[in-house]
Amino acid sequence: MSSQKQGTLGEIIFLKEAVKRDLKVSKPFSHHNKYDFIIDDDENLYRVQIKSCRMEGKGNGYRVRICNGNGSYGKKSAYGKNEIDFFGIYLVPVETWFIIPRKATANNKSVYLLPNDKSSKYGKYQENWGFEYF
């Protein structure tokens, strides 16, 4: 599967999960935004960038690139604080989501996720559909 198709599938699955949880979700009309969805909790609007991963890495974890591929000359750059608020990262093999605040990634270009390990660095963000920790 191409990365573009994988990205589209990740967005569809995110939308399904958000609607299932009665979240107010919007999709920008333009493809020129840094974010894929907007979540409205009646007090705030959160910009969410969707990423997905199909392959398990070493140690039962998943290394997921969370960088922006629109840098000059093909360079990848971290998303800025004024571009997105959360990453929605879907791990395809284990069918689980990590909803991670951008600020928790410390401008890294990738994250290493360990599903079902709440003691891991990003463990508390697994299935964080309340968009907590902002």
Per residue in 24-59, pLDDT (tens digit) is 999 999 878 899 999 998 999 999 999 998 876 677
Query: Is 75 within the bounds of a domain?
Result: yes
Residue 131 in domain: no
User: Is 132 contained in some domain?
Assistant: no
Could you tell me the sign of the dihedral formed by the alpha carbons of 127, 54, 8, 51, in that order? positive
State which residues form the domain around 108: 3-125
Q: What is the CATH number of the domain that holds 12?
A: 3.40.1350.10
Residue with tokens 């990590």: 98
Please indicate whether residue 1 or residue 9 has the higher confidence score (pLDDT). 9
C-alpha dihedral (98, 101, 112, 20), degrees to nearest 10: 10
Q: Confidence class of residue 73 from pLDDT cuts 50, 70 and 90?
A: low
The answer to the question of residue 134 being in a domain is no
pLDDT band at 11 (very low <50, low <70, confident <90, very high): very high
> How many domains does one find in the chain?
1
91-127 pLDDT, tens digit each: 999 999 999 999 999 889 999 999 999 999 999 999 9
